[in-house]
Amino acid sequence: MAEKQDFGYEKDVYAQEKAYATETLELSEEGDAENSKIEAVRLVVPLTDDPTLPVVTFRFWVLSLFFSIIGSVIYQFYFYRVATGTFSIYFVNLASYALGTSMAKILPTSKITIGGYSMSLNPGPFNIKEHALI
């Protein structure tokens, strides 16, 4: 029988995975708010949350429906054509931020009632939670 060749890999992969999982668990138990091992993630993504930010707002519904309808129309229009037309998620991210901030400046702060639920047209500045949902 031929012996197994060693291609430079560690022989006990499971021990390495177990050590990594234990090290990750120790990091999260320390209570450090920024506990990612990757420096770029630690610097950019906060692990804190502001529960006072409004999420499902009038702006969210309008912009989500707008981009969903536009995307569906473009997809259906170019479905049987050779030359395709699409818009990227990057375009949606940039355009939704620009439209959301402009809607925050333009819309009035009055409330509307729909089916027993009231919603403010403009609850405040356009925030990261609304942008992430769109």
pTM comes to 0.65
3-state secondary structure the chain: CCCCCCCCCCCCHHHHHHHHHHHHHHHHHCCCCCCCCCHHHHHHCCCCCCCCCCCCCHHHHHHHHHHHHHHHHHHHHCCCCCCCCCCCHHHHHHHHHHHHHHHHHHCCCCEEEECCEEEECCCCCCCHHHHHHC
Q: Where are the domains of the chain?
A: 1-48, 58-133
Predicted local confidence at residue 6, as pLDDT = 53
Residue 16 reports pLDDT greater than 70? no
- For 7, residues 6+ apart whose C-beta sits below 8 A from its C-beta are none
Residue 124 reports pLDDT greater than 80? yes
Q: What are 78-118's pLDDT values in tens digits? A: 888 888 878 889 999 999 999 999 999 999 999 989 888 88
Reported confidence tier of residue 44, pLDDT bands at 50, 70, 90: confident
Q: Between the CA of residue 116 and those of 112, 113, 119, what are the distances in Å?
A: 10, 6, 10
CA 9 to centroid of chain Cα atoms = 36
Q: What is the mean pLDDT of the chain?
A: 80
User: Higher-confidence residue: 105 or 38?
Assistant: 105
Reported confidence tier of residue 68, pLDDT bands at 50, 70, 90: very high
Predicted local confidence at residue 86, as pLDDT = 80
